Each structure stands twice: as structure tokens, then as C-alpha cells.
Amino acid sequence: MTDQGIKSRPKYQRLALDPSGRHHLLLIDGPALSSEAADAGFDIAACETWIVIRRSAVPPEPILAEAPGAIRPFRSTAHLFSALQDRLARETMGLRIYAAGTEDFLWDIHGIADQAGMSRQELRFCHVGSKARRIFCVHCRTITAGVKTSIVACSGCGASLFVRDHFSRRLAAFMGVQVDAEAPGEVPDAEEIYA
């Protein structure tokens, strides 16, 4: 059940610098790049790096350099996403984005980059951290976040949803389908498999 053989399930790779890029922006869901997210030779100094520190006491911002080697801290992912939208609106062609974090983080960035007209050729993602999933209920359209189990109660309509590997890049969520649609009440036990 951990690999359902579904092609839309995203595959990730350790980050490697794309030498064809002109500017490199590294986005990290955490205070630093974990060793499992990038090759040993990954040259972080070639990137402008944005980190999420999840603290209110963000160091006072000097005049922030938008340059390789600069590191810019954010209070939260929402804070980073908002700045990313503004930044991409005035970026020029040649940018490459590298992101390391949970799937929620990666695919929210994908959505912002897509809105700015970036293609998959300009993005590199590595999934690190929690395997918890965002589940889209195909019956009531509600998204339930942080799902760690094979079956989950929809936070919108309460249906017992089977968590599929079927992934929507547009919604940045996995598909959840009512597990007892054929035989009402027959709900298998939920197993924690997306820790």
C-alpha cells in the first residue's frame, strides 16, 4: 500500500545546481539545508537562500542583498510565499528555483512559480521532513491537511477517505476517495504510513 504504482505520484531528487541557470534561488523549509536534500558538492554560495525559522524574532533586516551568498530569514512559510510572489513578478529569465521541504511547501512554491510562468525545467525539488499529506476530498472538495494515515475522516463531510498516491499538481494535494462507497460502513483500520 505504500507504493500504489500511480504515475502522478511526484518523484524527487537530491538538489544539484543547474549550470544552465543565470540566477539561483534556494528555498528551505527550515533553518538550514539538510544533508539529505543536496549532493555534497552543492554550492550553496552560488544561491541566494531563503530560510524559514518559525520564530517571531527575525533578525533586523539590513538592506537585503539579492545576490548569491545572501541568506534571508522568514518567520513562516506564508511569509516566504508572499515575498516569493513579489520577487518573481520582477525577476528576469534565467532564474532557477531549488526547494527543500515537505510536499506542502514544495507544491505551494510550484503553484506560485507556475503563476509567474515558470516551467518544470526551471524548478528543482527535494522532499525532506514529514511525509504527511494534504488530501483533497473528491466528493466535497475540502482539503484535509497533515494526513499521516492510510484512511482519514474528511474534515469537510466526514467521509472515510482512502488516501491515494494520485497527486494533483494544480491542487497541490493527493486524492481522497470514500473507502466504503460500495459497502457502507465497511471501513478498514487506518494505518499510520505517512509519518
Partner 1 sequence: MIADGPIPLRVHDIESLSPSLKRFSLTALHGGELPTAAPGAHIMLTLRGPDRVMKNAYSLVSPAACRDRYQIIVRHVAQSRGGSAFLHQGIRPGDVIEAAPPVNLFPLSQSARKHLLIGGGIGITPLLSYLPLLKARGARFELHQISSAEDVGVFERLLAPFAPGQEIRIHGGGRGAFDLAGILSRQPLGTHLYVCGPRPLMDAAASTAAALGWPPGKVHKESFGEAAGGLPFKAILARRGIEIDVGETQTLLEAIEATGIAAPCLCRGGACGECRLPVIEGEVEHRDDFLSAEEKAAQSAVMTCVSRARSARLVIDF
Check if the beta carbon of residue 12 is closer than 8 Å to that of residue 125. Answer: yes
One residue of 21, 30, 68, 111 binding partner 1 per CB under 8 A: 21
- Contact between 122 and partner 1 by CB under 8 A: the answer reads yes
- Contact between 93 and partner 1 by CB under 8 A: the answer reads yes
* 3-class secondary-structure state, position 12: coil
CB of 21 vs partner 1, minimal distance in Å: 5
Q: Which three cell numbers stand for residue 112?
A: 506560485
Q: Residue 117 or residue 188: which is nearer to partner 1 going by CB? A: 117
What one-character DSSP code corresponds to residue 106? H
- Contact between 165 and partner 1 by CB under 8 A: the answer reads no
- Contact between 22 and partner 1 by CB under 8 A: the answer reads yes
* 3-class secondary-structure state, position 111: helix
- Contact between 94 and partner 1 by CB under 8 A: the answer reads yes
Q: Does the CA dihedral 101-53-86-82 come out positive or negative?
A: positive
Q: Which three cell numbers stand for residue 140?
A: 466535497
- Contact between 118 and partner 1 by CB under 8 A: the answer reads yes
* Residue ranges in contact with partner 1 by CB under 8 A: 20-23, 88, 90-96, 116-119, 121-122
